[in-house]
Structure 1
Amino acid sequence: MKNSSLFIIVWFGFGMFSCQQQSQDILFHKSHEAKKSEAPFSDAVEANGFLFLSGQVGMDHTSRTLVKGGITAETIQCIENIKAVLKQHNSSLDRVIKCTVILKNIEDFSAFNEVYKTYFTNKPARTTFAASGLAVGAQIEIEVIAFK
């Protein structure tokens, strides 16, 4: 019985050491937007030279409302919000390697794509799909992974 207790203590101690070491390589960044400081998620998480951004919608962060003008205006604002987060962490759109795009209506794909291709000239890998409902009634949400 003593041997099994010792094994559990050693195993548990090793597990704690491993977790501590891994957490040093991961940085959970608070939002640079004061109004989002209490959000239950990080705007960006940094790990091994990569930035993993939470999804952004077409919200004007000064008024905390969606921009008016439909999918085109929301796409522009959405990408501008992504640019702001990347800039805060010393990166930019040309360092984005993967985008995940969620549209409220897949019929907006062409209009979204017209805006998207003017910002992402490096053509990062991308997944686009439609979902029936997005946060705050948005028509689009985009999350990205960028290399720092």
Structure 2
Amino acid sequence: MRKILSNQAPKPIGPYSQAMKSGETLFVSGQIGLDPATGAMTAVTIQEQTEQVMKNLEAILKTDGKTFENVVKTTCLLTDMGDFAAFNEIYARYMVSKPARSTFAVVALPANALVEVELIAE
């Protein structure tokens, strides 16, 4: 097993790795819409945050030579299911391979994020 760290994605804000690789499988920690340059939440709307989340995930995937085509499973967390359609529209542009997915409503996310997505890629 080895840690994966992309300098194009936000540094972890807690005691975890951006991703861990076991064999050929990449387990990517949940990403929120933090700006990798500042480590701050600059995105405000669900659309802006979802775009940044997907860019952060893409950067981590690229560090391991993978793309969204390699994603087999995602877990998506939203603080408001009323944002589901707006989130889904942006998510679908990136996840064209349509991996397996779970989506949950949660009370709160770190940094007052509106969305968090974690993934598994082969």
Q: Same fold (TM over 0.5)?
A: yes
- Partner residue of 1:67 out of 7, 26, 42: 42
Equivalent residue, structure 1, for 2:83: 108
- Give the structure with higher Rg (CA): 1
The reply on whether 1:32 has 2:1 as its aligned counterpart is no
Name whichever structure is richer in helix by fraction: 1
Does the CA contact (< 8 Å) of 1:67 and 1:77 recur in 2?
no
Structure 2 length-normalised TM: 0.91
1:69, distance to aligned residue in structure 2 (A): 3.9
| Consecutive unaligned residues in structure 1, runs of 5 or more | 1-25
Larger relative contact order (Cα-Cα within 8 Å, sequence gap ≥ 6): 2
Q: Cα–Cα, structure 1 residues 98 and 37, in superposed 2: closer, same or farther, change >3 Å?
A: closer
Unaligned residue ranges in structure 2 (runs of 5+) = none
How many pairs does the alignment contain?
121
Counterpart among 53, 75, 78 of residue 28 in structure 2: 53
Question: Which aligned pairs between 1:1-148 and structure 2 lie closer than 5 A?
Answer: 26-29=1-4, 31-33=5-7, 36=11, 39-147=14-122
Q: Post-superposition shift, 1:81?
A: 0.2
Partner SS for 2:91: helix
Percent identity for Structure 1 against Structure 2? 36
